[in-house]
Amino acid sequence: MPPVTRVFISSASGTLRPYRQIAIELCYRLGMEPVAMENFYPETAPPLEVCRREVSKSDIFVLLIADRYGDRPPGEDLSYTELEYQWATAKHGTPIVPFIADDRYLAAHVRTHTYAEYRELGDLAKFVEKVRAHHTVKFFNEIETFRNDLYRALEFNRPPDPDRRLTHAQAVTQASWHANRRTLPSAPQPYAIPAYVGGSPFTGRRKELRLLTRWASSAAPVAVVEAIGGTGKSALTWEWFDNHAEAAIPRLAGRFWWSFYDGSASINRFLQQLLGYLTASTAWQVSRIPREELPELVLTELRRRPILLALDGFERLLMAYHQYDPSKVTDTIVEADARADKHSMIDGVGYDFVRALVGTSPSKVIVTTRMAPDALEGPGRSLLPGVYRYRLPGIDDSAVRSLLTKLGVSGGARNIESFFRPLDNHPLLIAIVAGLVRDHRLAPGDFDSWREHQPFSIGAVDLAAKQRHILDAAFQNLDPQTARLLSWLSALSGSVGWRLVQDVNPFGYDSDLSTAEAGAALDAALRDLEARGLLWWDRQANTYDMHPVVRAFSYDRLNATERVTANEQIRDHFAALPPETPNEVTSVEDLQPTITLFRALTGSGNHGRVVSLWNGQLAKPLLVRLGANATVTELLQPYENSTIVILRADLSIALHLAAEHDRGVAVEAGLLAYLLNQPRPELPEIRLSLGRLSTHYRSTGGFALYSKALDFMSQTTAGADVQDLADLLLRRAILAATTGEVEAARSALTRINERSAAERYPWLADDVQYWTLALENWAGNPEVGDRLVDAEQSASDWRMKLRLRLLSFDVSMRHGDLDAALKAAEDVDRLRRVGGQTAISAESAWALAALGRTRDAEATLGQSLARLPRLHPYDRPHQLVARTLSLLGRDEEARQHALQGYRQAWGDGPPFSHRWNLRRAEQLLASLGAPAPVLRASSAATIPHEPRLREWLEARRRTAATQVRPATTPRTTLVDRLQGWLDR
């Protein structure tokens, strides 16, 4: 990382203390390090030596001269201040920023009574003359003017930032997290990422703090603090974590706080940082550990010794918040969400990790969330054993009065209670109202006067409406440009660093202000927002954040034009940063700058650059290399009904890969309708859409619809290239292989390979290889095992690895190689988690049961049955479950699942059944003494928009028939074209 600019602040003590504090705060604001005597640590070196050393290491020297000359070191004629000035001027190239008090300041502060004071004034006058002779000075008196002038001077003298000129590779290499050395705290030191920074001082909550302390001494490993936004669950948990936990948990070996508000929905970075903290490993070491291995490594460490783990803002990992921008999902939106799975976790790795937390004693885990995750729930949404839940109310009346006092507000108890009780004593709203009261012109800080004159009434509406009412009043009370700043910052989804705040600064956007003047106005606006509790500033990290309730409200206030403008400012900031190298990306977090740029381009309506960025920087690493399907669906959600076909298509693919089949069908059906309704529908796009639609149907056992979609694809091959023809033939081969037409499938797959079509298209090569192996396995070919080993060694992307590992499991079980089968099953679970799929360990349960490891098989099967409802009905492994239950002696349950497995394999009824699974289901039922059920074939089904599709194809056929053809040109069918291509 580039070095931080160090600013030495030199002055005599006394009346300059407020000005020194402003200088220190401004340094923090600008991302500089203030070097001031207030921050010096005790050490053995004498003060003169310390001052000389610190001046020599500083980049800017700020000198404040007022009414005092200052103390002199022992044996010296010059004061510390003048000596520091001399050392700074002797250091070549150090900017000197001198400020001298004006006559008004001196008239108010200078008092002389003794000879020593007269002498000091004489020395002070000589010092002032020396400084004025060598520098252009700035005079000061009013504190606000001084702050603005110092802001401009610091910005003007800031050294060039080398980080802006780094390539992405250089920035990665130089970043502290990449260094192969431990630079962050390790256990037992507390570590917070980031530390909680609230908008108001913590007040009250004695009962809740006692409850958490009582939980700490209980047998329950997990506590869930649940409440709507703004109730103070993060503040309560931080207070207990920071000030009470050590006394409450004996022999506590470490404390780790993680906020999901500042991260993505991915749990990967969290697990990496936590493992690094627990093992004192470097980020470089941890980054080399495969994602799927991180949970067990972390859990092992948590079971070794008592660690306190706080997971703040956990709702960000839940389905209800899995939307384009989860930072702006309000409680009202979630309440209206009727989906049964809105409590579900979107990350398979995260689900398994959180569910395992109930077994991490002696460690303790606190989860703050707006709703409890399904990972901590059992049947009927009851909590798992070992989980303690506390639904947090607002603070009590006495705490309301105490908090208002701390915020500079006073008033009658009855008046205060009558106002805030209808607001449920909501801490966030109390802080915002306090800002309004302090700004009350008739009597600043007087609640009674403000209440008498305030123009609105909260009425008897629900709390969400009351929140909007209070926030609207707070915005009405803001300077328009300050309100604009808050709304522009709300366009981002997390905390914001200083550089981005500067780049988004609205004061310099459409005004005649200079850069320095706009910066000073920005500083004043930030202080105003901080004072009102609308914006939080973390001085240590120099980042700015706001409560999710405020963020959502602020963003909703932006009209369409302002929303575009805000996103354009954000876009310009991130567009200036060096892009990531897609092939070097190892996690979603590595792509965060580009993902933020993608969001900004989306918000600004720059769709051309959106497509370019997606195709060039995001699609391959997210969809292919990482299998980050949840992130893809979140990012592409705004384009679900757009005119951008490629983004809608990739959304459909991501939903397929994430096994969200029903939604995938809906998305693809919408895209097909859009394509058909164009004035001149594009043939290739419709063919591709039908292909994706067919894949969705095959994934849900809808083989009749799969076949029908292929029939329609066959009518769209006019002008198709080799890749398109090979793709269609492959899909036909897959249908033939699945329904038991072995020779037809073999012939088609062999011909594709013979014509080397697969060699030219890697994705086609993978599919042909897999389906060839799958077909031979179903047909009982004994050589498939050796060929499978070679295929697995060359597999490159997670999807191919997953399919081959599933095939390897099946082959190993068929040949009785149970150890190999168990290893393959464990790999299948791991790869499913990598791709964001729900991991159902049914393969592992069957292998364990076959190995005679009954206890392990029972436990693994129980976990699988608990997760079964999370899967699409066609993906539920009923046959595997039935075989495991049979080996465990639970025959009645086994029969029920075997029957379900038979119905799955039946599909739409022969010939549109999965022949091989149907045969296995029949054999399984026979072994369990149960007859196969009598089922009927499904009635003829239609694909979406089938009448419109037929109409369009018929119109194309008629048009083609009327075109003039050479008399000798025969009409060729699709079969003729395919056969001719294969025979060339």
- Which tens digit of pLDDT belongs to each residue from 593-603? 888 888 888 88
Check whether 695 has a pLDDT greater than 90: yes
- Listed range (58-72, 330-344, 437-451) with the worst mean pLDDT: 330-344
Q: What is the pLDDT of residues 459-502, one digit of tens each?
A: 656 677 777 888 888 888 888 999 999 999 988 877 788 888 98
The rounded percent of the chain whose pLDDT value lies above 90 is 37
User: Looking at residues 193-212, what average pLDDT do you find?
Assistant: 86
Instruction: Please compute the mean of the pLDDT values over residues 267-283 and round it to a whole number.
Output: 85
Q: Match 């030219």 to its residue by tokens.
A: 760
With a cut of 50, say whether residue 179 has pLDDT above it.
no
**Residue 855, SS3?**
helix
Per residue in 697-749, pLDDT tens? 999 999 999 999 999 998 887 777 777 788 888 999 999 999 999 999 999 88
pLDDT, tens digit (0-9, with 9 covering 90-100), for 745-803: 999 888 887 765 545 555 678 888 899 999 999 988 888 888 898 888 887 777 888 89
Cβ neighbours for 710, distance < 8 A, ≥ 6 positions apart = 690, 694, 728, 731, 732, 735
CA 419 from centroid of its chain's CA atoms: 37
What pLDDT was estimated at residue 724?
78
- Answer yes or no: is pLDDT of 208 > 90: yes
Per the CB < 8 A criterion, the answer to whether 493 and 548 are in contact is no
CA 762 – CA 760 distance, rounded (Å): 6
Higher-confidence position of 200 and 924: 924
Three-state secondary-structure class, residue 259: strand
C-alpha pair distances (Å), 955 with each of 419, 453, 978:
69, 72, 24
Q: Provide the percentage of residues in the chain whose pLDDT is more than 70.
A: 88
Q: C-alpha distances in angstroms, 122 versus 103, 118, 400, 463, 614?
A: 16, 6, 54, 65, 69
Pick the range with the lowest mean pLDDT from 3-7, 263-267, 852-856: 263-267
Average pLDDT of the chain is 84
- On the question of pLDDT at 263 being above 80, the answer is no
Q: What's the pLDDT at 338? A: 64
**pLDDT at res. 983:** 41
**CB-neighbour burial class of residue 750 (10 A; exposed 0-12, middle 13-18, buried 19+):** middle
Provide CB contacts within 8 A for 117, sequence distance 6+. 111
Q: Which of 167-181, 457-471, 930-944 is most confident?
A: 930-944
Q: Is the pLDDT score of 541 beyond 90? A: no
d(CA 621, CA 624): 6
Structural contact between residues 62 and 10, judged by C-beta atoms closer than 8 angstroms = yes
Q: Is the pLDDT of residue 900 over 90?
A: yes
- Residue 290, CB half-sphere, CA atoms under 13 Å: how many? 10
What pLDDT was estimated at residue 239?
93
Burial of 78 (0-12, 13-18, 19+ CB in 10 A): middle
Q: What is the pLDDT of residues 393-436, one digit of tens each?
A: 889 999 999 999 998 999 999 889 888 888 888 888 888 888 88
pLDDT for position 801: 86
Q: With beta carbons less than 8 A apart as the criterion, state whether 563 and 545 touch.
A: no
What is the distance of C-alpha 657 from the center of its chain?
20
Is residue 972 pLDDT above 50, yes or no? no
Strand, helix or coil at 568? helix
pLDDT in the model for residue 545: 84
Under DSSP, the state recorded for 283 is H
pTM to 2 decimal places: 0.71
Average pLDDT estimate for 838-853: 90
Residue type, 614: W
pLDDT at 966 over 70: no
The whole-angstrom separation of Cα 819 and Cα 302 is 29
Relative to beta strand 222-226, strand 364-369 is parallel
Q: How far apart are the first and last CA of the chain?
A: 60
CA distance 788 to 773: 7
Give the pLDDT confidence of 678-691 residue by residue, as tens digits: 988 888 899 999 99
The yes-or-no verdict on residue 334 having pLDDT over 90 is: no
Cα 147 to Cα 139, 142, 284, 485, 504, distances in angstroms: 12, 9, 42, 20, 21
Rounded Cα gap, residues 443 and 605, in angstroms: 46
Q: Tell me the HSE value of 172 on the side-chain side, using a 13 A CA sphere.
A: 16
User: With contact defined as beta carbons under 8 Å apart, do 445 and 437 qualify?
Assistant: yes
Burial of 310 (0-12, 13-18, 19+ CB in 10 A): buried
If one compares 496 and 884, the residue with the highest pLDDT of the two is: 884
Q: Give the phi and the psi of residue 903 in degrees, each rounded to 5.
A: -65, -40
Both tokens of residue 664? Answer: 């995938």
User: Are the C-beta atoms of 102 and 94 separated by less than 8 Å?
Assistant: no
CB 603 within 8 Å of CB 491: yes
Q: Omega into 422 within 30° of 0, i.e. cis?
A: no
Which pLDDT score is estimated for 87? Answer: 93
Amino acid at 832: R
What are the phi and psi torsion angles at 602 (to 5°)? -65, -45
pLDDT bin (cut points 50, 70, 90) of residue 242 is very high
Six token digits for residue 15: 């009346």
The per-residue pLDDT for range 350-377, each reduced to its tens digit, is: 778 888 899 999 999 999 998 888 888 7
Element (H, E) at 390: strand 387-391
- Give the per-residue pLDDT at 257: 93
What is the C-alpha to C-alpha distance for residues 529 and 517, in angstroms, rounded to an integer?
19
178 band by pLDDT with thresholds 50, 70 and 90: very low
pLDDT in the model for residue 118: 66
**How does residue 970 score in pLDDT terms, banded at 50, 70 and 90?**
very low
701 in Cβ contact with 907 (< 8 Å): yes
Copy the structure tokens of residue 807: 């095939």
Q: How far is CA 431 from the centre of its chain?
A: 28
CA distance 637 to 640: 5
Q: Sorting pLDDT into bands at 50, 70 and 90, what band is 120?
A: confident
Confidence of residue 114 (pLDDT cuts 50, 70, 90): low
Least confident range of 88-102, 712-726, 912-926, 957-971: 957-971
